[in-house]
Structure formats: structure tokens, C-alpha cells
Chains A and B, each alone.
Chain A
Amino acid sequence: MKTTSPLARVTETLLLTAFLVLVLAIAVQGAFQTRAQIADTFNRQSAIGQAQIMLEELLRLQIVEEDSLRGYVLTKDPFYVDQYHAAVLDFDDKLATIRATIAAQQVPVVQSALAQYASYQDGWRRHIASQVLQRPDALVSDLDKRSKVYSDYETRAATLVRSELADRNRALAASTQEQIDESAYVRAFFLLLFGLLAILFNAYRSRAYRELEEEKYTTQILQRAFRSEVVPLPNCRVGGAYLSASSHLAVGGDVFDVYRLSNRLALLIIADVSGKGVDAAVLTAFIKFTIRGIALRRRDPNAILAEFNTAFSQTVENPYLFVSMFVGILDTDTYVLRYASAGHDSAFVRRSTGVQQLAVTGPVLGVMEEPFGDRMLNLEPGDTLVLATDGLTEARRDSGEQLREQGAMRLIAAAAVEPQALCDELVAQVRAIGGNHLRDDLAILAIQIAPSEASHA
């Protein structure tokens, strides 16, 4: 099965997330840009619309000028002269405004036509209106005819301006519509793209989550193989505790094992691999099952250690790895314990008279090929064999002071009678000493010869 490394998975997730954010940013930026474009077009269209309205107002003022002049010729009433001059001012003001608006919109055809229109109106004022005002006896018919050509040409120019502005307005309206349509298409595209990416991202996440679940399941299976286990023994009460210095791992470099070799004989192991974490845990599994295999053939603890030492040296290529180990074979009928200790000094027996440390019988494993001695210990009902790793004896206070063997023996002496309760108490004590912080893995195995079943044959 192809698996993805965690680093690659994180990288892929980050890349996908970055891409999603990028697409989203482009879509948002595009939306703002489109909005600005549409607003600009709309403003231009609005300006053209204003120009159209002003043009009609300009034409109205032109008529007012002409009508005022005609009214003056017919009535000679100075009111019409004032009206004429007011209309001239309004006209010029309006013309300036519309010319500025058109200039801002850069429509040369309209600018030119508007200039033409203005020149016609100016010509009319100079050649017709001013002469009539100076010569009040002018006839209306004469005025009308002379004005007619100016009027016609102004109308033509105004028609051109009107037509061009209308065309411009229509073009801008079409452009606005086009931009809105385009914006809708672009947004739809990005929405679709974003949606697809989100679906892909979700699918990827699901796959990654599934892989993680599979890994978790596999880890649980493997942990079961690595975990130290206790099994019930006849005439005995057994307890055990295990703590890994790596808080997120259920395995470490310490291991203990209780394994029944026969109806009477039980194999007892406790070992401490140099190092911590998963690498050390893999070795503990190797130790556990290799010792079991050897012990099924050989019942001498020293021979078991010797054979394991050879296998360990040949199997593990790392010269810096070593193992301290206590191996015991307990006869659950006679309570005789034969044991060998490869540099493992955290082995104790608690009797009614006190706690005694069990002697080391050889060097640690993986260092040198030397014979291991073994010892025999007669246990009595009520006696408790306490096997631990250096996580107990090297438990350290914040001041740096270690518990050491003497401290461990004091704790064991004061601990509960029942083996599991004893193990739990020792764990609690180690935690308390270290300020709830473990510096090393800790394994404890306690086997008590059952007091109630002490009467053997």
C-alpha cells in the first residue's frame, strides 16, 4: 500500500490551502476590479445623460433668446431686452458646463459639433440680435428670415450633438451590460473553480484522515505486540505498571513480561533498552519474543541471557545500544526463583523482614561476550518480588537528587501489600518526585506469593 509521509501530507495540505486562498483572492480582487470598472462606465454614462439633459436646456434657452428678441421687436417693451440678456447669460453658463462635461468624456465629434453650434449662436447674436437691439424699428418678418438660417444650422448642429450623445449613451449602457454579464460569467467560473477545489480538498482531507485512521489502527496492533503484559500465575498475585517518557506514546524502551513456560514454571523478564521512543520499543518487542523463544528450550536464566546476548550482538548493528535485563524462572509450586541479572540492579524482594536488593550476575547485554551467573532464591508466601527499571531508581527531584536503590527500597517497603496497588503507588511516587514529569521510561512488575495459598505440599 502506498503511503504518504506526514511531511508530504502537510506540504500537500498547505499547497492546496494556499491554492484555495489564491483562487479566492483572485475572485475577490476580480470582483472589486469589475465593480470599479462598472462604476466608472456608469459614471461616464451618467455624465453623458447629464449632457443630454443640459443640451435640451441649452436649446430651450436658445429659443428664449430668439423669442425675447421677437417680443422686443413686436412690443418694444424693455422687459424683453432684460429677458434676452438673462437668457444669454444662462445660455453661456450652460454651454460652458456642457462643454466641460463633454471634454471630460473625450467625445471629439460632439465637441466639434458643439463648437459649431456655439459659433452659430454667437453669429446670430452679433449679426442679428445686436443689430435689432440697436435698431428697434426692425420688422419681425425681416428678423425671422435672417434668423432662419442660423436657426436651421443650429438645429443641424444640435441634432448631430443629440444623436452622438444618444449613441454614446447606448454604447456605454451596452458596455455596462457587457461588464455585468462578464462579471457574472467570471464570478460563476471562479465559484465553480473554488467549489471544485473545495471538493478536491475535502476528498484529499478525507483520504488523509482515512490513512491516519489506518495508521492509528496499525499502531494500536503493533503496540499490543510491544506492550508489556502480565498473566495470572498459580499461587501468585501479579501486578504491573508501565509509563513511557514520551507522553504521546504507549510504548518505550522498557519492557517486562510474565510468560508461562509450563504448568509450574513462569518466565519473568524485565529489561531496559538504552534510548527511548519507538526505536527502543521495537527492540523491546525483539527482546520479549526472543527471550520467550529461548526460554522454551532452555530453563537456565544465565544460559538464556548468554544466548540472547549472542543473538542481540548479531542482530542489532548499533554498537551504542545495550540492554540491562533481569530474567527469572519461578516455580509456582515450590516458590523457588532462579534468576540472572545482566546489569539490572532494580530488582528487589520484599519479605516480612524488609526489602532486599537482588544481586547483578553479569554485565549488560550487547557490550561483551561474557558468561552470566545465576542465583536461586526461595520465596515464602507473602513475599513480593519487585522488578523495576531505572525509571524508578533514577527518579530525580528538581534539585537533581536521585531516588537511587535505597530510596526505591524505602518506597517498596512502605507500599501496599497487593501487587497492583504496590505498582500504582510506586508510579504515583515517581510522578510526584519528578513534578509529574518523567525523565525516563518506567516499568514495574510485582509478583507476590499468595499468602492464602502458602501451604504447599
Chain B
Amino acid sequence: MRSVAVLALAAAYLLGCTAGAWADCKLRGGEHVVLYGSADDPSVLAWDSAERLREYNAASFDEARALALHAIDLSPGTRAQVVSCRPDFVQSQTADVVGDAVGVLILTGSYRGLTRWVLSTDIRDVDRAKKQHH
């Protein structure tokens, strides 16, 4: 458990999170989340950099296939912890959706312990859901 906390702090440092950047994000550093895409396509691509995440969402299909080498496919329901955020960093090419690039520490599954970037629309906030449930 201690190793996970150390990894989280290190990841936060490495991802260059700033206080100003958090201000416009819906998520807060340290929040526990669940990764889940859409009902049609629930798995989530997690990227090794926020820039690639952004490029993927703006790329052509062939470019996207090439970029996909830098992504891992996370099963829906993978748990993670928010460690970083870049508000309104990703602009979808087709849908007029602006999303945050969120740095997460993967807590479950075969990629446990890795830090990656995911789109904020692929994140479900577990803590907030629990509070609303109670």
C-alpha cells in the first residue's frame, strides 16, 4: 500500500501537475475513479502522454492506428486514482466535445501501477457516486 502511495506522489510530480491546472478540472487530485467508456464501447484507451491522447482524438483513422501503439486498452471497470489534469485539453474531431486530459494511476488489472492519460469522459467518479448514493 505504501508503495502505491509513493508511486502516486511520484506520478503527480512527473506529470507536472499545477494548482492552476486543477482549478478548471472536474476531478481533483487523489480522487478514486473507475474507467468506463460508452455503453457501446466500454473499454478505455490509456496513453503514455497527454499530447498523444489529444492527437489520437484529432487524427485521421490511419494516423490513429499508428498512434495506438502508444496506448493500452484497459478493461471497463478498471480502477484508478487521479494524479494530474489538463482542463479542456482534448478536442474530439467529429463530436463537438471538449474534454480534460486526466493523468491516472492504474490501481487494478494487469496494468496496475502504471500512470497513463485518459479522456475525462471515460472516467466515472467513484467517490462522488458513493457520496450521492449515501
Contacts and interface: CB of A to CB of B under 8 A. Distances in A.
Contact of B45 (A152, A157, A159, A163): A152
B40 A63 contact: yes
Interface string B82-99: 000000000011110000
A361 interface: no
Contacts of B45: 148, 152
Instruction: Please provide the 8 A-B residue pairs with the shortest distance between their CB atoms, ordered closest to farther.
Output: A145-B73, A156-B94, A151-B41, A159-B95, A160-B94, A149-B68, A144-B73, A148-B73
A120 interface: yes
A127 to B, nearest CB: 9
A155 interface: yes
13 contacts: A59-B40, A123-B61, A141-B73, A148-B43, A148-B45, A148-B68, A151-B40, A152-B41, A152-B45, A153-B61, A155-B41, A157-B94, A160-B94
- The interface size bin for chain A is 20 to 34
A152 B53 CA distance: 13
B26 interface: no
B65 interface: yes
Nearest to A163: B95
B62 to A, nearest CB: 10
B9 interface: no
Contacts of A59: 40
B71 to A, nearest CB: 8
Interface string A124-152: 00000000000000000100110011011
Given A148-B68, A156-B93, 18 more contacts: A59-B40, A123-B61, A141-B73, A145-B68, A145-B72, A148-B45, A148-B71, A149-B64, A149-B65, A151-B40, A152-B64, A153-B61, A155-B41, A156-B94, A156-B95, A159-B94, A159-B95, A160-B95
Contacts of A160: 94-95
Contact of A144 (B43, B65, B92, B94): B43
Nearest to B110: A141
A148 to B, nearest CB: 5
A108 to B, nearest CB: 16
B38 interface: yes
Contacts of A151: 40-41
Contacts of B41: 148, 151-152, 155
Nearest to A120: B61
Nearest to A127: B65
Interface string B18-59: 000000000000000000001011010100000000000000
A152 B71 CA distance: 13
Interface centre among B41, B68, B72, B95 (most CB of A within 10 A): B41
Contacts of B61: 120, 123, 149, 153
